[in-house]
A and B are shown apart, each in its own frame.
Chain A
Amino acid sequence: MSTISKIIIPLFVLFVVFYGMKKKVLIYDTFLDGAKEGLVTAFHIFPSIIAMVFAINVFLNSGILETFFQILSPVLSFFQIPLSILPMAFVRPISGTASLAIMNDIFIKLGPDSFAGRLASVIQGCTDTTIYVLALYFGSIKINKTRHALSTGLFADFVGIVASFLIVSFLFG
Chain B
Amino acid sequence: MINKIWGLFILIGIVFTLLFGEVSNLNDTILTSASGGVKMVLELLPILVLWSGLMKIAEKSGVLESISKVFRPLLGKLFPSLKRDSKALGYITSNIVANALGLGSAATPFGLKAMEEMQKENQDKKVASDGMITFLVLNTSGVTIIPTTVIALRLMHGSANPEEIILPAILATLCSSVAGLTLDYFRRRKRK
Q: A residues engaging B (CB < 8 A)?
A: 1-2, 4-5, 8-9, 13, 15-17, 19-20, 22-23, 25, 27, 30-35, 37-39, 41-42, 45-46, 49-64, 67, 94, 100, 103-104, 107-108, 111-113, 117-118, 121-131, 133-135, 137-150, 152-153, 155-157, 159-160, 163-164, 167-168, 171
Q: A167 — which chain B residues lie within 8 A by C-beta?
A: 168, 171-172
Nearest residue in B to A139 (C-beta to C-beta)?
A: B2
Contact B26 A159 (CB under 8 A): no
Contact A122 B169 (CB under 8 A): yes
Separation of A23 and B60 alpha carbons in the complex (Å): 9
Q: Which residue of B50, B57, B115 contacts A137 across the interface (Cβ within 8 Å)?
A: B115
Q: A4-B101, A121-B150, A125-B169 are in contact. Are A152 and B137 (CB under 8 A)?
A: yes
Q: A45-B112, A57-B36, A146-B1 are in contact. Are A67 and B168 (CB under 8 A)?
A: no
Nearest residue in A to B7 (C-beta to C-beta)?
A: A55
Q: B144 — which chain A residues lie within 8 A by C-beta?
A: 125-126, 128
Minimum CB–CB distance for B28 against chain A, Å: 9
Contact B187 A118 (CB under 8 A): no
Q: A147 — which chain B residues lie within 8 A by C-beta?
A: 127-128, 133
Separation of A157 and B179 alpha carbons in the complex (Å): 9
Contact B5 A163 (CB under 8 A): no
User: Contacting chain A: which of B68-76, B78-86, B153-161?
Assistant: B153-161
Q: B113 — which chain A residues lie within 8 A by C-beta?
A: 41
Q: A157 — which chain B residues lie within 8 A by C-beta?
A: 140-141, 176
> What is the interface of chain B mostly: helix, strand, loop, or mixed?
helix
Q: Which residue of B2, B40, B112 contacts A144 across the interface (Cβ within 8 Å)?
A: B2
Contact B176 A160 (CB under 8 A): yes
Separation of A143 and B122 alpha carbons in the complex (Å): 11
Contact B142 A127 (CB under 8 A): yes
Instruction: Give B43-74 as 1s and 0s: 1 = Cβ < 8 Å from A's Cβ atoms.
Output: 01100111111111111111100000000000
Q: Which residue of B14, B37, B142, B161 contacts A62 across the interface (Cβ within 8 Å)?
A: B14
Q: B1 — which chain A residues lie within 8 A by C-beta?
A: 145-146, 149-150
Q: A30-B57, A152-B133 are in contact. Are A163 and B172 (CB under 8 A)?
A: yes
Separation of A53 and B9 alpha carbons in the complex (Å): 11
Nearest residue in B to A54 (C-beta to C-beta)?
A: B33
Separation of A128 and B147 alpha carbons in the complex (Å): 11
Contact B26 A58 (CB under 8 A): yes
Separation of A61 and B17 alpha carbons in the complex (Å): 8
Interchain residue pairs with CB less than 8 A apart (21) = A8-B103, A9-B103, A19-B58, A38-B53, A39-B48, A41-B48, A42-B41, A49-B37, A62-B17, A63-B16, A64-B13, A111-B158, A113-B159, A126-B144, A137-B111, A140-B112, A143-B127, A145-B127, A146-B128, A152-B184, A159-B180
Q: B140 — which chain A residues lie within 8 A by C-beta?
A: 127-130, 133-134, 153, 156-157
